[in-house]
Amino acid sequence: MSKITIWHNPRCSKSREAVKIADENGVQQEIVKYLETNPTLHDIEAILKMLGLGARELMRTKETIYKELDLKNVTQEKMLIEAMVKNPKLIERPIIIKGDKAIIGRPTSIIADFLKS
């Protein structure tokens, strides 16, 4: 099985569960603590392409910062991505990357199948 990358927030139970599932499946992982090392614009654009999603679909829309920045009224993808670069707390987690594919590990029940694919 190939190595995966997990965009991880250690304070998030779903993110911790993703690491545990990878461990249980014997998968070598690179852990990216994206709140400590902010992803770049290019990083987020690459993830969106792998996920096949628009920027808003990667955002945690219930976060206080989402409301404070009034992002619900922003329609430009680039502006939403820039908001995630500046405020990585807005990024949904965990993100599991395997090769040129990625998933958001919610619900966590989808992770094991993704790792085996």
Residues assigned a catalytic role: 12
Q: Report the chain's terminal Cα–Cα distance, integer Å.
A: 9
Task: Find out whether 38 and 85 touch, Cβ atoms under 8 Å.
Answer: yes
What are φ and ψ of residue 81, in 5° steps?
A: -65, -45
